[in-house]
Structure 1
Amino acid sequence: MICRDQLVAACDHQLRAAQFKDFTVNGLQVSGSEQVKRVMTGVTACQALLDEAVAWQADMVLVHHGYFWKNEPVAITGMKQKRIKTLLDNNISLLAYHLPLDAHAEMGNNAELARRLGWKVEGCLDGELGEGLLWSGRLAQPLSVKALGEQIAHTLQRQPLIIEAPQVGGYRAHRVVYRRRARHDYCCL
């Protein structure tokens, strides 16, 4: 068992949450039990995940996509009200990290994409939202754009959208610049 606030502080520190200009609140979004025995993780704090957390008797849910996004209506009604009520009624904390989980060098989405595709990370480009969101790397071997698309599709089990300039038809990629996100991956050769 660990104190909720200690766990939140450790996650905030490890993920460098304060260093990002995000579109949402990173860190503790809904406060529940002060003591944490069980943490459920997921991508999005949807109702199905929260129902599983209740059934599993979780004290905390840690997700990539939480609540309270910029330009989102602030009223807590409908679907948002039901989700927050589930958390409050069951004394479950909601901890969410968006850009910090995209960028983290070991646990982040970019790092995992590079590992799964066998890319050698060469560096990160800093942007206005925070460092580590746009990575560059070298492919294990040069690939045509088509072959790279097939590798991504096979590894991630989803079809990438490839926009190829006509003049690079026979181009073989050696390097990539990429950003891994939950619904969209960006990859430039």
Structure 2
Amino acid sequence: MKKGKMIILSGPSGSGKTTISQYLLSKIPELKFSVSCTTRSMRNNEKHGKDYYFLSTKRFISKIKKYQFVEWEEVYPQLFYGTLKNEISKIWNENKHILFDVDVKGGLSLQRKYPYNSLSIFVMVKSMKILKERLFTRNSNNMNIRLNKAKIEWKYANLFDVILLNVDLLKTKKKAVQLVSNFINKSG
């Protein structure tokens, strides 16, 4: 198996990481999205195996016990997210680099496990007020829980390789492409 590189996009809910992730995939053909597992319910516009692998809590916990995850977190009470080891192998066997869109703890876990071939990017907005507006526009469930979690997550921003401030989305997306392209093209 050829070992590729990893791009780890993390940040609070509503920071823009999924939009940036989709843009990176459209601009950099060497990237492939790592589909995470979750125990949350599927939303109307989502597809199993494309957006997430939607698992029951029982099945998720079974995979934890069998050490099938490279990282996993209970992001909110009884709401699990994780990355399967075989998802990483599958993408690297396709000679692609992996793009992760993961929560902050998951991102830091991946960064610790793959320090030499990963680029970790923390996506953030200027203020909690802006984040609250974005979550409100998205009709996010559990907004207060998400905002409280964001306050905690911001404290970890400096542990990432890069902090990407998302003020102007178009400029932020272009900056992300530049960062990722430079990292992928760097030898080593």
Q: What is the TM-score when the length of structure 2 is the normalising length?
A: 0.24
Larger % of strand: which?
Answer: 1
Q: Greater relative contact order: 1 or 2 (C-alpha under 8 angstroms, separation 6 or more)?
A: 2
